[in-house]
Homo-oligomer: A and B are copies of this chain.
Amino acid sequence: MKFFVTGAGGFIGSNLVDRLLSEGHEVVGYDNFATGFRRFLEGALANPRFTLVERDLLSPVGIAEAMRGTEVVFHLAANADVRFGTEAPRRDLEQNTMVTFNVLEAMRAEGVKRIAFSSTGSIYGEAAQIPTPEDAPFPIQTSLYGASKLGAEGFIAAYAEGFGFQAHIFRFVSILGERYTHGHVFDFVRALRRDPTRLSVLGNGKQRKSYLYVQDCIDAMLLCLEKATDKVNVLNLGTDAYCEVLDSVGWISERLGVTPTISLTGGDRGWIGDNPFIFLETQKVRALGWEPRLSIRQGVETTVDYLLANPWVLEARP
Protein backbone atom coordinates (compact mmCIF):
# COMPACT_ATOMS: atom_id res chain seq x y z
CA MET A 1 0.00 0.00 0.00
CA LYS A 2 1.02 3.59 -0.43
CA PHE A 3 0.60 5.88 2.57
CA PHE A 4 0.72 9.65 2.98
CA VAL A 5 1.95 10.68 6.43
CA THR A 6 1.73 14.28 7.62
CA GLY A 7 4.00 15.22 10.48
CA ALA A 8 6.33 12.51 9.17
CA GLY A 9 9.31 14.06 10.97
CA GLY A 10 7.54 14.13 14.32
CA PHE A 11 7.59 11.78 17.28
CA ILE A 12 4.72 9.49 16.30
CA GLY A 13 5.00 10.24 12.57
CA SER A 14 8.60 9.13 12.19
CA ASN A 15 7.98 5.95 14.18
CA LEU A 16 4.98 5.21 11.96
CA VAL A 17 6.98 5.86 8.79
CA ASP A 18 9.64 3.39 9.92
CA ARG A 19 7.01 0.80 10.75
CA LEU A 20 5.21 1.15 7.41
CA LEU A 21 8.49 0.90 5.51
CA SER A 22 9.51 -2.17 7.53
CA GLU A 23 6.24 -3.80 6.49
CA GLY A 24 7.06 -3.20 2.84
CA HIS A 25 4.77 -0.23 2.17
CA GLU A 26 5.52 2.92 0.21
CA VAL A 27 5.35 6.18 2.15
CA VAL A 28 5.19 9.84 1.20
CA GLY A 29 6.08 11.94 4.23
CA TYR A 30 5.09 15.60 4.54
CA ASP A 31 6.65 17.86 7.15
CA ASN A 32 7.78 21.45 7.53
CA PHE A 33 10.13 20.48 10.39
CA ALA A 34 8.65 23.18 12.60
CA THR A 35 8.60 20.72 15.48
CA GLY A 36 9.74 17.50 13.77
CA PHE A 37 13.36 16.53 13.10
CA ARG A 38 14.94 15.45 9.86
CA ARG A 39 17.25 13.30 11.97
CA PHE A 40 14.26 11.10 12.91
CA LEU A 41 13.92 10.24 9.22
CA GLU A 42 17.54 9.24 8.58
CA GLY A 43 16.62 5.59 8.23
CA ALA A 44 13.56 6.31 6.11
CA LEU A 45 15.45 8.63 3.78
CA ALA A 46 17.82 5.78 2.95
CA ASN A 47 14.85 3.69 1.80
CA PRO A 48 13.81 4.01 -1.87
CA ARG A 49 10.17 3.44 -0.87
CA PHE A 50 10.17 6.71 1.09
CA THR A 51 9.66 10.18 -0.35
CA LEU A 52 9.93 13.30 1.75
CA VAL A 53 8.12 16.53 0.88
CA GLU A 54 9.23 19.46 2.99
CA ARG A 55 6.35 21.92 3.02
CA ASP A 56 3.96 23.69 5.35
CA LEU A 57 0.42 22.24 5.40
CA LEU A 58 -1.05 25.61 6.30
CA SER A 59 -0.64 26.49 2.65
CA PRO A 60 -2.85 24.27 0.51
CA VAL A 61 -0.31 24.52 -2.32
CA GLY A 62 1.40 21.24 -3.07
CA ILE A 63 -0.52 18.93 -0.75
CA ALA A 64 -2.73 17.30 -3.37
CA GLU A 65 0.19 16.84 -5.74
CA ALA A 66 2.29 15.16 -3.04
CA MET A 67 -0.64 12.94 -2.10
CA ARG A 68 -1.33 11.73 -5.62
CA GLY A 69 -1.53 7.95 -5.89
CA THR A 70 -1.56 7.28 -2.16
CA GLU A 71 -4.34 5.23 -0.60
CA VAL A 72 -4.39 6.11 3.08
CA VAL A 73 -3.60 9.42 4.74
CA PHE A 74 -2.21 9.40 8.27
CA HIS A 75 -2.76 12.98 9.36
CA LEU A 76 -0.49 13.38 12.39
CA ALA A 77 0.86 16.90 11.81
CA ALA A 78 -0.33 19.18 14.60
CA ASN A 79 0.49 21.67 17.23
CA ALA A 80 0.66 18.97 19.88
CA ASP A 81 1.24 21.25 22.81
CA VAL A 82 -1.84 21.52 25.00
CA ARG A 83 -0.20 23.63 27.68
CA PHE A 84 0.62 26.85 25.86
CA GLY A 85 -2.69 27.32 24.05
CA THR A 86 -3.60 30.57 25.75
CA GLU A 87 -0.24 32.09 24.79
CA ALA A 88 -0.90 31.66 21.07
CA PRO A 89 -4.50 30.64 20.37
CA ARG A 90 -4.20 31.13 16.62
CA ARG A 91 -1.59 28.39 16.47
CA ASP A 92 -4.16 25.76 17.47
CA LEU A 93 -6.74 27.08 15.00
CA GLU A 94 -4.22 27.08 12.18
CA GLN A 95 -2.08 24.03 12.88
CA ASN A 96 -4.89 21.73 13.93
CA THR A 97 -8.22 22.82 12.45
CA MET A 98 -7.22 24.67 9.28
CA VAL A 99 -4.40 22.30 8.37
CA THR A 100 -6.76 19.34 8.71
CA PHE A 101 -9.18 21.09 6.40
CA ASN A 102 -6.40 21.54 3.83
CA VAL A 103 -5.55 17.85 4.04
CA LEU A 104 -9.21 16.91 3.52
CA GLU A 105 -9.51 19.20 0.51
CA ALA A 106 -6.38 17.66 -1.02
CA MET A 107 -7.87 14.19 -0.49
CA ARG A 108 -11.06 15.29 -2.19
CA ALA A 109 -9.11 16.71 -5.11
CA GLU A 110 -7.08 13.51 -5.53
CA GLY A 111 -9.83 11.01 -4.72
CA VAL A 112 -7.97 9.63 -1.71
CA LYS A 113 -10.71 8.24 0.49
CA ARG A 114 -9.17 6.99 3.72
CA ILE A 115 -7.89 9.10 6.59
CA ALA A 116 -6.49 8.21 10.00
CA PHE A 117 -6.28 11.13 12.40
CA SER A 118 -4.49 11.72 15.68
CA SER A 119 -7.06 13.34 17.93
CA THR A 120 -6.80 13.56 21.68
CA GLY A 121 -8.35 12.60 24.98
CA SER A 122 -8.22 16.32 25.79
CA ILE A 123 -11.31 16.59 23.63
CA TYR A 124 -13.38 15.24 26.54
CA GLY A 125 -12.54 18.32 28.63
CA GLU A 126 -13.14 17.53 32.29
CA ALA A 127 -15.05 14.36 31.56
CA ALA A 128 -18.17 13.59 33.55
CA GLN A 129 -17.50 9.86 33.05
CA ILE A 130 -14.16 8.19 33.91
CA PRO A 131 -12.84 6.02 32.37
CA THR A 132 -14.21 8.05 29.47
CA PRO A 133 -15.78 6.15 26.56
CA GLU A 134 -15.95 7.42 22.98
CA ASP A 135 -19.67 8.18 23.35
CA ALA A 136 -19.29 10.07 26.64
CA PRO A 137 -21.73 12.95 27.20
CA PHE A 138 -21.12 15.84 24.76
CA PRO A 139 -18.14 17.54 26.39
CA ILE A 140 -17.34 21.18 27.09
CA GLN A 141 -13.88 22.12 25.85
CA THR A 142 -11.36 23.41 28.35
CA SER A 143 -8.32 23.93 26.09
CA LEU A 144 -7.59 25.59 22.78
CA TYR A 145 -5.86 22.37 21.79
CA GLY A 146 -8.95 20.26 22.49
CA ALA A 147 -11.17 22.79 20.70
CA SER A 148 -8.98 22.79 17.60
CA LYS A 149 -8.90 18.99 17.47
CA LEU A 150 -12.68 18.88 18.00
CA GLY A 151 -13.12 21.10 14.96
CA ALA A 152 -10.77 18.87 12.98
CA GLU A 153 -12.66 15.72 14.00
CA GLY A 154 -15.92 17.37 12.97
CA PHE A 155 -14.67 18.23 9.51
CA ILE A 156 -13.23 14.75 9.01
CA ALA A 157 -16.56 13.14 9.89
CA ALA A 158 -18.47 15.60 7.67
CA TYR A 159 -16.16 14.80 4.75
CA ALA A 160 -16.72 11.09 5.35
CA GLU A 161 -20.48 11.70 5.13
CA GLY A 162 -20.34 14.23 2.32
CA PHE A 163 -17.68 12.76 0.08
CA GLY A 164 -17.67 9.04 0.86
CA PHE A 165 -14.44 8.96 2.86
CA GLN A 166 -13.68 6.39 5.52
CA ALA A 167 -12.23 7.90 8.69
CA HIS A 168 -10.38 6.50 11.69
CA ILE A 169 -10.23 9.09 14.44
CA PHE A 170 -7.92 8.12 17.29
CA ARG A 171 -8.25 9.89 20.62
CA PHE A 172 -4.88 9.44 22.26
CA VAL A 173 -3.75 9.77 25.81
CA SER A 174 -0.21 11.21 25.98
CA ILE A 175 2.22 9.07 24.01
CA LEU A 176 5.66 8.07 25.29
CA GLY A 177 8.70 6.31 23.83
CA GLU A 178 11.56 6.69 21.40
CA ARG A 179 11.75 10.14 19.72
CA TYR A 180 9.53 11.69 22.37
CA THR A 181 10.23 15.42 22.20
CA HIS A 182 7.91 17.26 24.56
CA GLY A 183 5.80 16.72 27.65
CA HIS A 184 6.36 16.06 31.30
CA VAL A 185 9.04 13.31 30.98
CA PHE A 186 11.01 15.57 28.63
CA ASP A 187 10.69 18.56 30.98
CA PHE A 188 11.60 16.60 34.12
CA VAL A 189 14.57 14.77 32.58
CA ARG A 190 15.93 18.02 31.22
CA ALA A 191 15.48 19.83 34.53
CA LEU A 192 17.05 17.00 36.55
CA ARG A 193 20.06 16.82 34.26
CA ARG A 194 20.63 20.50 34.92
CA ASP A 195 20.03 20.25 38.66
CA PRO A 196 19.51 16.76 40.13
CA THR A 197 18.95 18.13 43.63
CA ARG A 198 15.55 19.68 43.12
CA LEU A 199 12.51 19.64 40.84
CA SER A 200 9.58 22.04 40.51
CA VAL A 201 6.27 20.35 39.64
CA LEU A 202 3.25 22.29 38.35
CA GLY A 203 0.11 21.86 40.41
CA ASN A 204 -0.14 19.58 43.45
CA GLY A 205 1.42 16.57 41.68
CA LYS A 206 -1.79 14.60 42.18
CA GLN A 207 -3.03 15.13 38.63
CA ARG A 208 -3.93 11.70 37.28
CA LYS A 209 -2.89 11.02 33.69
CA SER A 210 -2.72 8.08 31.37
CA TYR A 211 0.09 7.32 28.91
CA LEU A 212 0.70 4.91 26.07
CA TYR A 213 3.90 3.64 24.48
CA VAL A 214 4.36 4.78 20.88
CA GLN A 215 4.82 1.32 19.40
CA ASP A 216 1.65 0.15 21.14
CA CYS A 217 -0.09 3.20 19.69
CA ILE A 218 1.09 2.32 16.19
CA ASP A 219 0.03 -1.33 16.62
CA ALA A 220 -3.42 -0.13 17.60
CA MET A 221 -3.80 2.30 14.71
CA LEU A 222 -2.78 -0.24 12.09
CA LEU A 223 -5.05 -2.90 13.57
CA CYS A 224 -8.01 -0.51 13.63
CA LEU A 225 -7.42 0.48 10.04
CA GLU A 226 -7.84 -3.16 9.15
CA LYS A 227 -10.61 -4.20 11.54
CA ALA A 228 -12.79 -1.15 12.23
CA THR A 229 -14.94 -0.85 9.13
CA ASP A 230 -17.51 1.87 9.82
CA LYS A 231 -17.63 5.04 7.77
CA VAL A 232 -16.42 7.01 10.79
CA ASN A 233 -14.53 5.03 13.43
CA VAL A 234 -13.76 6.88 16.64
CA LEU A 235 -11.42 4.99 18.96
CA ASN A 236 -9.78 5.86 22.24
CA LEU A 237 -6.17 4.70 22.56
CA GLY A 238 -4.61 4.32 25.99
CA THR A 239 -3.59 1.87 28.68
CA ASP A 240 -6.15 0.65 31.20
CA ALA A 241 -4.36 2.46 33.98
CA TYR A 242 -3.33 5.93 35.08
CA CYS A 243 -0.67 7.35 37.35
CA GLU A 244 -0.22 10.50 39.35
CA VAL A 245 2.35 13.04 38.23
CA LEU A 246 4.37 12.33 41.39
CA ASP A 247 4.44 8.59 40.56
CA SER A 248 6.04 9.46 37.27
CA VAL A 249 8.47 11.84 38.97
CA GLY A 250 9.51 8.95 41.21
CA TRP A 251 10.09 6.56 38.29
CA ILE A 252 12.06 9.17 36.36
CA SER A 253 14.22 10.06 39.39
CA GLU A 254 14.91 6.40 40.10
CA ARG A 255 15.90 5.76 36.48
CA LEU A 256 18.19 8.77 36.58
CA GLY A 257 19.58 7.74 39.97
CA VAL A 258 18.73 11.09 41.55
CA THR A 259 16.77 12.08 44.68
CA PRO A 260 15.57 15.63 44.11
CA THR A 261 13.66 17.74 46.61
CA ILE A 262 10.23 18.29 45.04
CA SER A 263 8.56 21.68 45.17
CA LEU A 264 4.91 21.94 44.13
CA THR A 265 3.42 25.09 42.60
CA GLY A 266 0.08 24.00 44.13
CA GLY A 267 -3.52 23.73 42.99
CA ASP A 268 -5.17 20.77 41.31
CA ARG A 269 -4.19 21.95 37.83
CA GLY A 270 -0.73 22.53 36.41
CA TRP A 271 -1.89 25.28 34.05
CA ILE A 272 -5.06 26.83 32.63
CA GLY A 273 -6.95 24.06 30.90
CA ASP A 274 -4.86 21.32 32.54
CA ASN A 275 -7.11 18.36 33.09
CA PRO A 276 -6.65 16.91 36.58
CA PHE A 277 -7.82 13.42 35.53
CA ILE A 278 -7.45 11.86 32.07
CA PHE A 279 -8.29 8.18 31.80
CA LEU A 280 -9.92 6.75 28.69
CA GLU A 281 -12.11 3.68 28.32
CA THR A 282 -10.35 1.50 25.71
CA GLN A 283 -12.79 -1.40 25.52
CA LYS A 284 -13.58 -0.59 21.90
CA VAL A 285 -10.03 -1.01 20.58
CA ARG A 286 -9.37 -3.98 22.88
CA ALA A 287 -12.41 -5.74 21.43
CA LEU A 288 -10.61 -5.67 18.07
CA GLY A 289 -7.81 -7.75 19.59
CA TRP A 290 -5.29 -5.13 20.68
CA GLU A 291 -3.58 -4.75 23.98
CA PRO A 292 -0.60 -2.62 24.92
CA ARG A 293 2.69 -4.39 25.63
CA LEU A 294 4.20 -1.76 27.93
CA SER A 295 2.75 -0.48 31.19
CA ILE A 296 2.78 3.26 31.92
CA ARG A 297 5.85 2.78 34.13
CA GLN A 298 7.67 0.85 31.38
CA GLY A 299 6.73 3.56 28.91
CA VAL A 300 8.15 6.26 31.18
CA GLU A 301 11.36 4.30 31.73
CA THR A 302 11.79 3.60 28.02
CA THR A 303 11.41 7.31 27.37
CA VAL A 304 13.97 8.26 30.01
CA ASP A 305 16.42 5.74 28.52
CA TYR A 306 15.83 7.15 25.05
CA LEU A 307 16.43 10.73 26.17
CA LEU A 308 19.61 9.77 28.02
CA ALA A 309 20.88 7.96 24.93
CA ASN A 310 19.94 10.90 22.69
CA PRO A 311 20.80 14.06 24.59
CA TRP A 312 20.66 16.09 21.35
CA VAL A 313 16.86 15.83 21.59
CA LEU A 314 16.93 17.45 25.02
CA GLU A 315 19.19 20.18 23.71
CA ALA A 316 17.33 20.87 20.47
CA ARG A 317 14.66 23.02 22.11
CA PRO A 318 15.22 26.41 23.68
Listed stretches A16-24, A90-98, A249-257, A296-304; interface member:
A90-98
- Please tell me if A34 contacts chain B, counting CB pairs below 8 Å: no
In the bound complex, residues from chain B placing their C-beta under 8 Å from that of A234 are: 138, 140
Interface size grouping (class) on chain A: 35 or more
Q: Which residues of A from 84 to 136 have beta carbons under 8 Å from B?
A: 85-86, 89-90, 93, 97-98, 101, 104-105, 108, 124-125, 128, 134-136
- Please tell me if A150 contacts chain B, counting CB pairs below 8 Å: yes
- Please tell me if A292 contacts chain B, counting CB pairs below 8 Å: no
B86 touches A273 (CB 8 A): no
CA distance A143 to B97 in the complex (A): 16
- Please tell me if A246 contacts chain B, counting CB pairs below 8 Å: no
30 inter-chain pairs at a CB distance below 8 angstroms, sorted by A residue, are A85-B162, A86-B162, A89-B104, A89-B158, A89-B159, A89-B162, A93-B97, A93-B98, A93-B101, A93-B155, A97-B151, A98-B98, A128-B135, A134-B138, A136-B138, A137-B138, A138-B138, A138-B139, A140-B157, A140-B232, A141-B157, A142-B161, A143-B158, A143-B161, A143-B162, A144-B155, A147-B158, A150-B154, A158-B273, A161-B273
